[in-house]
Structure 1
Amino acid sequence: MDKYSSAEQTISLNPVTIPSLINIAIKHGVNANTLLNDVGISAESVTDPKATLTLGQLDALYSACGTSMGNAAFGLQMGRITRLDSLNLVGSLIGTADTLNHAVDHYRRFRELLHPFMDMGISVHGKEAALIYAPTIANEITLKPYYCEMFLSGIAKIFSELTRKQLKVTRMEFSYPDPGYADVYSEVFEAPIFFNKGQSAIIFESSILDQPLPGRYPELNESFEIQAVKYLMELDRLNSVECQVIRYLQENMGIRPISMQDAARRLNVTTRTLQRRLKKENTSYVSIRESIRFKQAQLYLTETTINIDEIASRLGFSEPTNFYHAFKRWAAISPGEYRRANKQVRPEAEAEALTA
């Protein structure tokens, strides 16, 4: 079992997860720039589909939003303002589904396009159905009340939007103790609330799951599904271990020495696990590192006047001669020969080199 903490676990983001949270904070007078800086998230990563954070950073953002708004029940508040049109392509897919069961199937299949871990399960017992909060990553962070509040109140809102009538909740069950604002739960769900249960779930009449939805549109739904499959395939590629290692090395090479242990820690796995997963993807840490070193070396040699000894140091070589031999292996010529043949130094690069 991997030894690193839940907070260090790396997760991928998407264009929905963080902006929706920030928008709510802004509406409550919170400065978005201050909020992101306080939790160590760059503004660029908010809309970058390739961005990754640690689970701890995402949790810190949720927590900071609640604190900044002075509202312990902000998870319920976020869920209440959820709308299909705020869920991008997945919202369109769900909105044209035949039935609620069909909509749930779509969400579960394409959930990663919306959120890194919020998932659900459905259990049907006779006339009752339970829609259960079942995060794909279950730990001390993802099981915090505000994630469950956000998810279940959001699902209740979406179900009402899909059926075009208020979801009649039989009762609500939560696996944790009363957080101190049970009255807000009652107001949001308009049903009996029970804490310290074996699950966190919305209980409702099972008969509505297979009733035709007023917005069903099979042909359009099929078109949305084709698009969603393409996006999911691209997301899977970006989430590959190889791509995660590449991003980590690109972000850090030239700033400080990086080892395989550093990369493994960033991905919240052991070194052995990292090696095994990369092998499964038909690559290795060394081959990825060497590829990035070569590309970075080419940039330094053609677009700056940084001397070769400094380039070697920036790329993590202990001795310039090691860099010399490696570059000759990569390019079949020496670094100096490559620079003379390909030099394209911009005027401002001269100044950059002087301050490097």
Structure 2
Amino acid sequence: MKERMVPAAIIPAIMDLAIKNRLNIESILTRADVGLAVERDSGTYVSISQQLRIFNAAYDVMDNPAFGLLLGESIQYHSLDLVGQLIATSQNVQEALDELFQFKDLITPFTTFSLEIKGQDAVLVYSVDSTMVRENLPVHHDVVASSVVSIANAIIAEGVRLKRVCFIHDKPEYLDHYHRIFGDCVEFGSVRNEVVFDRAQLQEPLLTSYPDYHDGVKTLAKEKLRSIESRESLAAKVNYYIARNIGVASTSLEDVASHFNVTPRTMQRKLKQENTSFVAIRDACRHDRALRDLADPSIDVDALAELLGFSDTSNFYHAFKRWQGVSPGAYRKQALAERGLN
């Protein structure tokens, strides 16, 4: 299956951090097995695996456990290409978050975001897909929270009024960096990664708001998303569509084929030409989603089975044991133990 491509927008920020710390950029790219053209051309596309290899190589070469926080601090809205421009030129915080949610795949397709309102709190929830990001997961959590807060502080007049910043990973040794960036409201070993701030700020105008320019950038962002999709095989498109719509919309063969404006028979024939099948792709998406959600202790197994489209929990148990070799309960116990949670 041809791998999804993304603009190399975050790579310059990694390179800038490397330069500030007097690291050899060529050694990082060599270690990641990625050509120098990625660093030189901001318009370059890279595969998700290439982006992750560069990230991991920079983390290894820098040899600083606070790498994620430092990288997040160095990322400003102009570091994130069209997505950063959309965020900065939005009218208020709510619109900026809406744009992040819609176009985040242009910068971080393995991260999901949602916003919850709880009383006077606005809760930005995010998760990094551990089936895609298999190394240095806590470092990715650090990057997301640090960059969100750094960008918010740059475009909100008085900065973001943080109430809590929660991480699912355990308390690390480099606490001083967390306190410097987030203050004293940091919590570790949480059920979810959250950035909690004052709900009233959602309607707060941004210093950099520019509605007319914003509309033009949004058109370009939509075109770039379409450009990425046009580079992919049908199998990659189907995989991505199912992964995003599990539990949200129907992922039956008929409905997925309709989304791509082909008949079910045509879709099956084209997927066969790419040496795969609809059943295999949907099975892989269900497997990946199950692995991700079982690592979250707040998600009920019965509810997960229903979300994945199984007629009953027993069928889900049989399928998961076929995929993973162990039951969902055994896998969850192992995943939580690795995070230091009961």
> For residues 67 and 274 of structure 2, what CA distance do their matches in structure 1 show?
46
Paired residue for 1:134? 127
Relative to structure 1, is the Cα distance of residues 214 and 21 closer, same or farther in structure 2, using a 3 angstrom cutoff? Answer: closer
Paired residue for 2:106? 113
Which secondary structure does the structure 2 equivalent of 1:42 belong to? coil
**1:226 counterpart = 2:219:** yes
**1:122 counterpart = 2:109:** no
What amino acid does structure 1 have at the position aligned with 2:117?
Answer: V
User: Scaled by the length of structure 1, what TM-score is found?
Assistant: 0.62
Contact conserved, 1:241 with 1:278, CA < 8 A, in 2? Answer: no
C-alpha displacement at 1:128, in angstroms? 1.0
- The correspondence for 2:267, drawn from 280, 285, 295, is 280
Paired residue for 1:72? 65
> For residues 92 and 82 of structure 1, what CA distance do their matches in structure 2 show?
13
- The correspondence for 2:185, drawn from 173, 192, 198, is 192
Contact conserved, 2:130 with 2:137, CA < 8 A, in 1? Answer: no
User: Scaled by the length of structure 2, what TM-score is found?
Assistant: 0.64
Relative to structure 1, is the Cα distance of residues 39 and 212 closer, same or farther in structure 2, using a 3 angstrom cutoff? Answer: closer
| Paired residues for 1:34-113 under 5 Å | 34-45=27-38, 47=41, 49-54=44-49, 58-113=51-106
> For residues 132 and 111 of structure 2, what CA distance do their matches in structure 1 show?
12
Paired residue for 1:309? none
Paired residue for 2:304? none
Which secondary structure does the structure 2 equivalent of 1:121 belong to? strand
C-alpha displacement at 1:233, in angstroms? 1.0
- The correspondence for 1:167, drawn from 160, 166, 178, is 160
Paired residue for 1:182? 175
Q: List structure 1 segments (4+ residues) > 6 angstroms apart after TM superposition.
A: none
- The correspondence for 2:147, drawn from 154, 165, 169, is 154
Unaligned runs of 5+ residues in structure 1 are 3-8, 245-275, 289-356
Structure whose CA Rg is larger:
1
Identical amino acids, percent of aligned pairs: 22
C-alpha displacement at 1:280, in angstroms? 2.7
Paired residue total: 248
> For residues 12 and 68 of structure 2, what CA distance do their matches in structure 1 show?
15
Relative to structure 1, is the Cα distance of residues 287 and 98 closer, same or farther in structure 2, using a 3 angstrom cutoff? Answer: closer
> For residues 36 and 123 of structure 1, what CA distance do their matches in structure 2 show?
39
Relative to structure 1, is the Cα distance of residues 53 and 157 closer, same or farther in structure 2, using a 3 angstrom cutoff? Answer: closer
C-alpha displacement at 1:183, in angstroms? 2.2
> For residues 96 and 126 of structure 1, what CA distance do their matches in structure 2 show?
28
> For residues 197 and 139 of structure 1, what CA distance do their matches in structure 2 show?
21
> For residues 271 and 10 of structure 2, what CA distance do their matches in structure 1 show?
31
C-alpha displacement at 1:22, in angstroms? 2.1
